[in-house]
A and B are shown apart, each in its own frame.
Chain A
Amino acid sequence: MKELAQRALDTALARGSSYADVRILGVRQRYLATKNGQISQAREYESYGLGVRVIASGAWGFASTDRLTAEGVDAAAGRAVEIALASALVKQEDVQLAPEQEFVDEWQGPCSIDPFSVPVSSCLDLMLKVDAEIRKVQGVTLAENQMDFRRVEQVFLSSIGSEIRQVKTQTGVGFVATSFAGNEIQRRSYPNSFGGQYQTKGYELVGELDLLGHAPQIAEEAVALHSADQCPAGVRDIILGGSQVALQIHESIGHPIELDRVLGTEANFAGMSFLTLDKLNQLKYASDIVSVVADATASHGPGLGTFAYDDEGVPAQRSLIIENGRFVGYLTSRETAAAIGNSRSSGTMRAESWNRIPLIRMTNVSLLPGRGRLEDLIADTDDGIYMETNRSWSIDDRRYNFQFGTEIGWEIKGGKRGRMLKNPSYGGITTDFWNSCDVISGPEEWVLWGTPNCGKGQPMQTMGTGHGAAPARFRKVHVGVAYRA
């Protein structure tokens, strides 16, 4: 692989590029799913290819190919330069990159049990057992399980002399119980909705989650929701479960801190950000107890945003985003760091695969834990609603106005969890909401959740991001907003 990457790099430079980097990847994926006792999906996938990114005449060009031959990579490199020269016809100024060192290194992500070495029959056996447990509960109309394994092997070369090999294994697993009755479809998911939990690790994740043990309760909750009361509308204190806090971080902190959005380069599609440059080090983003980091280093944990180097060859870093409530940092690339006068990129450029350019993406954007358990938090709440597991999420294109729905909720009265509530929802304005946070649970509740489906860019790229989160309480929040006619 390295020889072809080097050839592409040499060709790009020979054709007139002032900078070039090349990524050559091999991707392997296995996806298994069951539905109501049947195998609904069994798929293996592999993809190999090379992408060449160049600066020529002060402008960007990129071309990719799956023809991993001398002829194929030469053509791709030449095409990238041709495209850059076309870009240069419509530029305001030359591209400038923040300086970076050259690195020659290898890294392999955490993976104790290679998921591709686990017999498919063992995976299916577990999924069908969980399926059977779910369907034992009367009223469940649909039981769905999935397992998703992915391994990416990448070689990165750049014209500043870097040569970086990385291997990353990702595992995703989860199940859903659906109950359709009367005029309602109710769902419960474990350990999270929209695919379950995803982390950068091996099959050991499956064992950690005790899927079989959780199946009966989740299935019973799906059915019980039909007879639960509707979540009331009004202003209430709320406690969010950890996975919902993770998505709240993703949408209302992770995206607005992307500096490319701030600078307008996503204006036509993903949108911009309310975090204009004047707000850096000035904005009171959240209450004093809230601190958020962007941390791609392995020491943070096996998140979907964990790596050793980003796709520009910048080392993984831990940077402060919110420090005791104050906004102190963006996610940056070499180009955007230079644009705002930073001396170095924060190392967040990531590409979906060989056929996409790297973009600024969240790494592991995590809320630092506070103290205590969820049950302590509930006991400390006189009148509120506990909401768990995301069902819907939406936020405006500058990331102010959000609305979330969750699968299930419980009323809290006098420090005790009371009646179950169906169709919970809440909404607000980002900074008002985070400034209303008055308790964050402790390390014992803190989980590094994975969001495998973050979309950005044109052509669209899907990226996995990590979010460490613990249950947290927010005061005086508008609830029941989705159903208020």
Chain B
Amino acid sequence: MARAKKVHTSANDKMILTRQRAKEIFDKVVKYSTAEQTEAFITSTSAALTRFANNTIHQNVAEEETTLSVRALVDRRTARASTNRLDEASIRQVCEAALALARLQPPNEDLLPLPLPQTYRSVERFYSSTAELSPKARAETVAAAIRRAAKDGLTAAGVYSSGASSMALFNSRGLEAFHEETLSEFSLTLMSQSGSGWAKKTSPHHLELDPEVLADRAAAKALEASEPREVTPDKYTVILEPSAVLDLIGFLFFDFGGLAVHEGRSCLSGRVGQKLFGDNIYARDDVFHPLQSGPPFDGEGIPRRRVSLVERGVVTNLVYARSTAKKMGQEPTGHGFPLPNEYGEAPMNIVMEGGRASLDEMIRSTPRGLLVTRFWYIREVDPYQKILTGMTRDGLFWIEDGKIQHGVKNLRFNQSVIEMLGQVEMMSPPQRTAGEESFEMVVPAMKIREFNFSSATKY
């Protein structure tokens, strides 16, 4: 897994920004900015995505962009202006725009000065072979997945993407932060006449995606899900595969932001320190976990810390941007979004502890229940009880006497995630997991009692 440190270019001229080039841009920002303090956030992306459906590549795209975002501070006021034009005149203009926008505001006595230089623990998440993966290579992998689908008479749809990004954060008080990483994704839905199966994986390195394994898994699900039967909506024991867990949990963790709690818009407002979940629930935010991705600093350049969020079901800590930390008498944890923003902060590198059970063991231990591959269109029904609604999709199975019996027509749930995490009976070891409703996390599969399904659909 070779790691490139220089300008990343290939024959077809893809590139992302290096630290040195970013610094050159920042030097121009400093030259043109007349604000009291100035911050530059420079992001660069080169990404490509091959999309297939009906056993054909039908959309196949690539993009490249570098954006300079300047934040100006003057007289306790701040504002941001961004551009993707990096000529001298545009850099001067964006500096002036940020300052002008800041000056038009009333002062904010709570506004903090920019942070001083910080020290970061490095994380290595850049793989040049992933950055330079060609459209032909992606097409060949897609072709293999389609052949696998055709072997069982299935129709394939999905996506194979790869790309690289870098981000640099500099400020006029000397802070310098830089991060680069690659990311890849393989996801597919295989369909029979009456059933479908889905599998997805993301990784900084495309060689860890295992498209063949994903295609086998989706094919097995599609075949098993065929001729689905109706099941009466009710409370059932469910086994949620990791993607299903992720997309539910993802709605909870933004509530761990300090500002959300402080402002009374979090389900944890008034509940920090309380035992909300079962004894077996442990969660932390850990950007350094080997299965995680992302930069080791936040939107102001504060180093991300490991933060324990839940221990033995008790909400132990929140995460704090600098301004929230000051407001709440805490230490900043390095989870703030770029300023100014309305949200404050959130843990973006969740790692849940799991258990030792395999998915098969969970199924064998279930006299009567449902196995859920993934959920779809999850939305918050009640912000404080944290009731979510959504649908099952692409693989819902009836379990009886410890065995999968048949596919089931999809069901709608209305379920409090807080209550759900008090009803977890078994867990698998955690794994890096991707869904469609949340950012990637490291989460386990879970067996949960009394999960509330409220209505059914027609397929």
Contacts and interface: CB of A to CB of B under 8 A. Distances in A.
Given A35-B342, A62-B61, A268 B12 contact: no
Contacts, number: 279
A65 interface: yes
Interface string B329-349: 000000000001110000000
A350 to B, nearest CB: 15
Nearest to B84: A66
Contact of B84 (A48, A267, A274): A48
Interface string B441-453: 0000000000010
Interface string A18-43: 00000000000000010110111111
A42 to B, nearest CB: 4
A414 to B, nearest CB: 30
Given A41-B342, A84-B60, A120-B101, A459 B49 contact: yes
Chain A CB within 10 Å — which of B58, B157, B387 has the most?
B58
A398 interface: yes
Given A44-B81, A184-B384, A458-B51, A482 B59 contact: no
A189 interface: no
B455 A401 contact: yes
A79 B12 contact: yes
Interface string A335-378: 00000000000000000000111000000000000000000000
Interface residues of B, number: 96
A265 B155 CA distance: 11
Nearest to B53: A265
B327 to A, nearest CB: 12
A396 B80 contact: no
Contact of A394 (B52, B382, B391): B391
Contacts of B436: 269
A225 to B, nearest CB: 12
Given A185-B383, A401-B456, A271 B376 contact: yes
Contacts of B455: 401, 403, 427, 478, 481
A78 B79 contact: no
A178 B264 CA distance: 9
Contacts of A436: none
B200 to A, nearest CB: 9
Nearest to A267: B157
A225 B20 CA distance: 56
A170 interface: no
Given A86-B138, A90-B57, A482 B381 contact: yes
B342 A40 contact: yes
Contact of B82 (A45, A267, A395): A45
B377 A395 contact: yes
A132 B155 CA distance: 57
Nearest to B61: A62
Interface string A374-405: 00000000000000000111111110110101
Give the interface centre of A59, A84, A87, A264 by most chain B CB atoms within 10 Å.
Answer: A87
Contacts of A397: 376-377, 391, 393
B59 A423 contact: no
Given A44-B80, A48-B84, A75-B12, A185 B457 contact: no
A185 B264 contact: yes
Contact of B13 (A79, A119, A423): A79
A268 B81 contact: no
B50 to A, nearest CB: 8
Interface residues of A, number: 89
B456 A90 contact: no
Contact of A429 (B161, B198, B458): B458
Contact of B53 (A46, A178, A184, A267): A267
A120 B189 CA distance: 48
A268 B188 contact: yes
Contacts of B138: 86
A62 B382 contact: no
A268 B381 contact: no
A268 B159 contact: yes
A141 interface: yes
B54 A79 contact: no
Residue from the set B47, B57, B196, B264 with the largest chain A CB neighbour count within 10 Å: B57
Interface string B234-267: 0000000000000000000000000000011101
B134 interface: yes
B269 interface: yes
Contacts of A107: none
A4 B12 CA distance: 19
B452 A44 contact: no
A61 B49 CA distance: 11
A42 B12 contact: no
B402 interface: no
B63 A63 contact: yes
Contacts of A427: 412, 454-455
A265 B159 contact: no
B106 to A, nearest CB: 7
Nearest to A274: B458
B393 A62 contact: no
A185 B380 CA distance: 12
Nearest to A40: B342
Given A41-B341, A79-B13, A268-B189, A91 B49 contact: no
A266 interface: yes
B104 A67 contact: no
Nearest to A423: B382
B430 interface: no
Contact of A42 (B55, B264, B340, B410): B340
A364 to B, nearest CB: 23
A91 B414 CA distance: 41
A398 B392 CA distance: 12
A144 interface: yes
Contacts of B269: 180, 185
B12 A78 contact: yes
Nearest to B380: A392
Contacts of A65: 63-65
Contact of A400 (B55, B78, B458): B458
Interface in A403-444: 403, 405, 423, 425, 427, 429
B396 to A, nearest CB: 12
A348 to B, nearest CB: 16
Contact of B60 (A62, A356, A457): A62
Contacts of B85: 46, 48, 66
Contact of B139 (A46, A86, A484, A485): A86
Contact of B140 (A89, A91, A357, A394): A89
B414 A481 contact: yes
A392 B53 contact: no
A117 interface: no
B440 to A, nearest CB: 15
Interface string B143-162: 10010000000010111010
B97 interface: yes
B389 interface: yes
Given A45-B81, A60-B60, A484-B454, A87 B157 contact: no
What 4 A-B pairs come out closest when comparing CB atoms? A180-B264, A86-B135, A401-B457, A267-B157
24 contacts: A35-B342, A38-B108, A44-B97, A46-B84, A62-B61, A64-B61, A66-B66, A75-B12, A80-B62, A86-B135, A90-B57, A91-B56, A92-B54, A121-B105, A183-B385, A185-B269, A264-B155, A265-B54, A268-B157, A268-B188, A355-B65, A459-B47, A482-B382, A483-B414
Given A185-B264, A269-B436, 20 more contacts: A39-B340, A44-B97, A46-B82, A46-B84, A48-B85, A66-B84, A86-B57, A86-B135, A87-B58, A89-B143, A90-B57, A92-B54, A93-B56, A119-B104, A141-B263, A265-B58, A401-B391, A403-B412, A427-B412, A481-B454
Interface of B: 12-13, 47-67, 77-85, 94, 97-98, 101-102, 104-106, 108, 110, 134-136, 138-140, 142-143, 146, 155, 157-159, 161, 187-189, 191, 196, 198, 263-265, 267, 269, 340-342, 376-385, 387, 389-391, 393, 410, 412, 414, 436, 452, 454-459
